[in-house]
Amino acid sequence: MAHDVFVSYSSKDKPIADAVVAGLEQGGVRCWFAPRDVTPGTSWGDAIINAIEGSRIMVVLLSGNSNESRQVVREVERAVAKGVIIIPFRIEKIDPTGAMAYFLSSEHWLDALTPPMEEHIEKLGTTVQLFLSENVRPEAGTRISKTAAPAVTTAPRWKAAWIGALLVGVGIIAVLAIVLIPQLMSAAPTSSPAAPTQTEAPVETAIPTQTAIPATPTPVPPPEFSVLGEYRTSGSAYSLFIDGNTLALANGVNGVLMLDISNPASPTLGDTYEFNDLPAQRLVIDGETAYVIVGDDTRQLVIQPLGTTGTSATSPAEGQRMMFGLYNVAVNAGFAHLTSHNYWSILDVRNPLNPKEIWTWEPPEHSGNPCNAEIQGSIAYIGCGWAGLFTFDISDPASPELLGQFNTPDWIIDLAISGQVLYLSLGDSGVLSLDISDPAMPLFMDRIDIPGFTTRLSGSGDVLYAIYSVYEGYVVGESGVVALDVKDPAQLEIITTYTGLDHGSDIQVVEETVYVTDEARGLTILSLGAP
């Protein structure tokens, strides 16, 4: 669509962004607004770039959230490079920081710090109309002057419409007055009522009892995380899988630890499984069988019967070349889905000790990062790093059929499904929600920025949990868990954050209990409830 203004904002400020777009468009300003104007199936990045380059003006909602949003910074950087007029619209009393301060150092912004917001949006519309009234596209580097903008002599369209409506209302009132006043005059009494005599009792006027003013409800504080229990390990706790009251912990060179979590406050150690000093990285349990990825750079899948130290199978088989970067495994209906760098393989494990590879696939462009799989019924959702999301019909596991594809604004690290909604963790770009009611055409719903780098996801009911880490160079400076309100998947919101991890690595939620592995510390068990 043809447009005049590109609206850049953090997803956390979407309600205000919605109001800004509505106000501008009511005034006749054509806006480009993500995700509304991103055509399904197109590249998100290409859509953003093309929209910015096709704009005369960029309106940036300036807030603490946008300061921390890498997506907003990238959009502003692109606008500066292309000479697009930038109008910062400050909705919080903050100054630009970091890269945002660099790009906006010479910009004059409009403040929208006091209610009503409608008045500030109207002023923004007036400013936008002023620049759009110039029929010539501004030269590269043109910005809003720090001097006051000249007054606009003609009212914007929304103001004219309001005035017109007011005049119509006044006219209606005048007509009613002309018609009704004579009727009221004719019905009025012609003489005043007689004054009461001294013997008449005075009329008693009842004094109404005072209505009690309801008390202002006390604001309910948001729920907070509390620590239910811990299990510290001497190895590196990379991942976990829960089956009933058993938690399997992939604990690096210490192998797999089987923990009894019937009392989450006090996990106890049961069986252990070691793999010839090869570090256990990731695992799943299916029935009485554990599927464990072991190794460092080159890895293999070990299929281990539980409850016994007996024979285990490997894939690739012993003597065969192991896969580089084998990343994860998912098991569904007798088939194991292995993902690695730029690779997806399906194994027939209906006989677990005799696995057979029946399918391999590589995305059409290099993923740059490991692929990951999430299976729902006969549909496989394959997230392949920078290559995006691919959906497959796996009714015939030996011959999956590609259904659709969705390009993401950042590389996909993890996937989680809840009903007909698919959530993706996108590293620096937070968490994204997709409507997958039609697997062949995933539809964008919302994206929310999370401070730091988002990795693993797990959900329960109306809450989605995400692990994040803030890096200082190549070292994790802060790590924790973010709880997201997903009652409305099209409006993701952060509930609260737990910051007590050294380096969060995996997460699984059972009902309202949150189990988190920390590479440096072991297992932490959390609960989200009232403080």
3-state secondary structure 96-144: CCHHHHHHCCCCCCEECCCCCHHHHHHHHHHHHHHHHCCCCCCCCCCCC
Per-residue pLDDT, averaged over 255-279, amounts to: 94
Residue 201 has pLDDT above 80, yes or no: no
Residue 431 has pLDDT above 90, yes or no: yes
Residue 430 has pLDDT above 80, yes or no: yes
The pLDDT confidence band at residue 358, using thresholds 50, 70 and 90, is: very high
Per-residue pLDDT, averaged over 165-170, amounts to: 43
Give residue 351's pLDDT.
94
More reliable by pLDDT, 54 or 529: 54
CB 233 within 8 A of CB 518: no
11 secondary structure, DSSP code = G
Q: What does the pLDDT look like over 101-141, one tens digit per residue?
A: 878 866 678 999 999 999 999 999 999 998 888 644 444 33
526 phi, psi to nearest 5 deg: -120, 160
Residue 525 has pLDDT above 60, yes or no: yes
Q: What does the pLDDT look like over 486-500, one tens digit per residue?
A: 999 999 999 999 999
Residue 189 has pLDDT above 60, yes or no: no
C-alpha distance from residue 456 to each of 84, 96, 239, 508 (Å): 37, 30, 10, 9
CA-based R_g, the chain, Å: 31
Report the alpha-carbon distance of residue 410 to residue 124 in Å, rounded.
Answer: 31
Q: Which of 234-248, 310-324, 347-361, 465-479 has the lowest mean pLDDT?
A: 310-324
Token pair 């604990």 is found at: 251
Give residue 382's pLDDT.
95
More reliable by pLDDT, 526 or 236: 526
The pLDDT confidence band at residue 21, using thresholds 50, 70 and 90, is: very high
The pLDDT confidence band at residue 146, using thresholds 50, 70 and 90, is: very low
Give residue 51's pLDDT.
92
Residue 377 has pLDDT above 60, yes or no: yes
CB 367 within 8 A of CB 380: no
CB 65 within 8 A of CB 10: yes
Neighbours of 61 (CB within 10 A): 24
CB 371 within 8 A of CB 363: yes
Q: What does the pLDDT look like over 498-511, one tens digit per residue?
A: 999 999 999 999 98
Per-residue pLDDT, averaged over 260-279, amounts to: 93
Residue 185 has pLDDT above 70, yes or no: no
pTM for this prediction: 0.65
Give residue 475's pLDDT.
78
Return the CATH superfamily for domain 5-146.
Toll/interleukin-1 receptor homology (TIR) domain (3.40.50.10140)
400 Rama class: left (phi>0) / alpha (psi -120 to 50) / beta:
beta
Neighbours of 266 (CB within 10 A): 13
C-alpha distance across the termini of the chain, in Å = 49
The pLDDT confidence band at residue 169, using thresholds 50, 70 and 90, is: very low
Residue 514 has pLDDT above 50, yes or no: yes
Q: What does the pLDDT look like over 216-255, one tens digit per residue?
A: 566 667 789 999 999 999 878 999 999 999 999 999 999 9
**Long-range contacts for 378-384 (Cβ within 8 Å, ≥24 apart)?**
379/403, 379/436, 379/439, 380/337, 381/415, 381/417, 381/422, 381/436, 381/439, 382/339, 382/344, 383/412, 383/413, 383/414, 383/415, 383/424, 384/342, 384/344, 384/412
More reliable by pLDDT, 425 or 108: 425
Residue 208 has pLDDT above 60, yes or no: no
Among 190-194, 197-201, 210-214, 485-489, the range with the most confident prediction by mean pLDDT is 485-489
Q: What does the pLDDT look like over 315-326, one tens digit per residue?
A: 877 666 666 678
Per-residue pLDDT, averaged over 69-78, amounts to: 85
Residue 166 has pLDDT above 70, yes or no: no
Q: Which of 53-62, 262-271, 292-301, 454-463 has the lowest mean pLDDT?
A: 292-301
Strands 110-111 and 85-90: parallel
Give 504: exposed, middle or buried? Use CB within 10 Å, 0-12, 13-18, 19+: buried
Neighbours of 17 (CB within 10 A): 22
Give residue 315's pLDDT.
80
Residue 261 has pLDDT above 80, yes or no: yes
Average pLDDT for the chain: 82
Residue 154 has pLDDT above 90, yes or no: no
The domain ranges of the chain are 5-146, 224-529
Residue 207 has pLDDT above 50, yes or no: no
Helices (H), 359-455: none
Q: What strand order describes the sheet that includes 335-340?
A: 328-332, 335-340, 343-348, 356-361
As its CATH architecture, domain 224-529 has: 7 Propeller (2.130)
